[in-house]
Amino acid sequence: MTAIWWIRRDLRLDDNRTLQAALEAGPIVPVYIFDPFFGAGSSNRRHRFLANGLRSLEVDLRQRGSYLVLRRGAPVEVLRQLLSESGAQVIYAEEDFSPYARKRDQAVAAQLPLKCIQGQLVHHPLGIHKSDDSPYTVYTPFSKVWKYLLPDDFGISIAPERFPTVPKIPSEPIPEYDQEKYFPVGEAQAQKRLESFVADKIFDYGIGRDFLYQDGTSSLSPYIHFGMLGLRTAVDRARQAILAAPDELSRKSAETWLNELIWREFYIHILYHYPHVREGSFRPQYHRIQWRNDPDEFDAWKNGLTGYPVVDAAMRQMLATGWMHNRARMIVASFLVKDLLIDWHWGERWFMQNLLDGDLAANNGGWQWTAGTGTDAAPYFRIFNPILQSKKFDPNGDYIRKWVPELAETESSAIHAPWQKNNQVPGYPAPIVDHKYARERALATYQHARS
């Protein structure tokens, strides 16, 4: 029986249950469809990363005697045409859990022989629930059940050396773009980065992940988002590191990284069960927050011109690389929402437009956590002080100097808040808001909304 392997967010050959199921059915037709739904509103940077990832996948397929078929259009129409052209009797696809993906797949399955295989997550959103069958909305009990349900052996598949493939199915050309400097594409690159992280950084991750000036994180999120790395593979390597840890501190560091992977899955489960978080706050009382939404201040934030060096460094890092350190994400999000009183939706959209790892669920969950509006969120009165955060996590200003060259010659003692020592740096703006005043204003605004 011939099968179409409909590739979506699983641009890999190993640890791919969907590909495995398709190969067990018979000859395959690997297909990627550029869906117009993801056209105008999608990030140009992610579009380029995806296209280069497809080109890398095409190379891997060619090495196994196969090839990639690329088409554009509404998935149901494209797949119907491909079934006719190839003589395939079944379509295999990795199950996706975003609101649009679920609606799309229901429409396709109603008309065509689609089989969705769970491989994007470790646990299906319907597989983790409380004793009354309701979903978890607090991370800690969710993570305990998540870990308890882990299988002893994932049985991670390795792709065969040759793929039986239906020949000569026409394909559109894959767009060509320059490669991302900081994130080379492809499954091999993702595996290389994972192994380097596990070998060199995971046992220091518990402490090193917070320091902005050092490369202490895995930086794997773009690869996980596009499925160049399977989440089960990442979890399996984390679990191996926990067992192999040389001491208690190292073990806790490896567990901390595993917990970060679980947070990602937690937010996907939340979006699955509570799709309204896509458009509004999980907690209804925060619908009433009276945002200031000053467009000039928002532009200053977007372009790294707030006058707060650590905020500006982080925003410029994202514009330059398509990625931002996780600690920096919390700092800039708190600054936008609490210091400037700008609706978290504005920041959420800007991140989605610029991050390579712009994942709907994780991005939404992170912003609602900082804004205090989400399921398992930071308290509304938790407001990061950007100066103290900068001093603590970039004590010598190395991160700031890298991304804010105007401050390259500023002394470490003054770099976190140049204006406090009357350092007027040519070309660098004064602070757009006083943090002490902004903090009191935010507290009053949130308290008013809660009342």
Out of 85, 260, 350, 406, which one is annotated catalytic?
Answer: 260
Structure tokens at 191: 């595996």
Phi, psi values for residue 165, rounded to 5°: -135, 140
**Active site annotation includes 344:** yes
Structure tokens at 202: 């995971």
Structure tokens at 439: 């903090």
- SS3 annotation, the chain: CCEEEEECCCCCCCCCHHHHHHHHHCCEEEEEEECHHHCCCCCHHHHHHHHHHHHHHHHHHHCCCCCCEEEECCHHHHHHHHHHHHCCCEEEEECCCCHHHHHHHHHHHCCCCEEEECCCCCCCCCCCCCCCCCCCCCHHHHHHHHHHCCCCCCCCCCCCCCCCECCCCCCCCCCCCCCCCCCCCCHHHHHHHHHHHHHHCHHHHHHHCCCCCCCCCCCCHHHHHCCCCCHHHHHHHHHHHHHHCCCHHHHHHHHHHHHHHHHHHHHHHHHHHCHHHHCCCCCHHHHHCCCCCCHHHHHHHHCCCCCCHHHHHHHHHHHHHCCCCHHHHHHHHHHHHHHCCCCHHHHHHHHHHHCCCCCHHHHHHHHHHHHCCCCCCCCCCCCCCHHHHHHHHCCCCHHHHHHCHHHCCCCCCCCCCHHHHCCCCCCCCCCCCCHHHHHHHHHHHHHHHHC
Out of 146, 323, 346, 367, which one is annotated catalytic?
Answer: 367
**Active site annotation includes 260:** yes
**Active site annotation includes 409:** no
Structure tokens at 290: 């009276």
Report the distance separating Cα 300 and Cα 340, nearest Å. 11
Out of 259, 326, 385, 423, which one is annotated catalytic?
Answer: 326
Q: Are 124 and 148 in contact (CB under 8 A)?
A: no
Out of 291, 350, 385, 423, which one is annotated catalytic?
Answer: 291
Out of 6, 301, 344, 369, which one is annotated catalytic?
Answer: 344
**Active site annotation includes 369:** no
Phi, psi values for residue 428, rounded to 5°: -115, 130
Out of 263, 346, 369, 403, which one is annotated catalytic?
Answer: 263
Structure tokens at 402: 């890298």
Catalytic amino acids? 260, 263, 291, 326, 344, 367
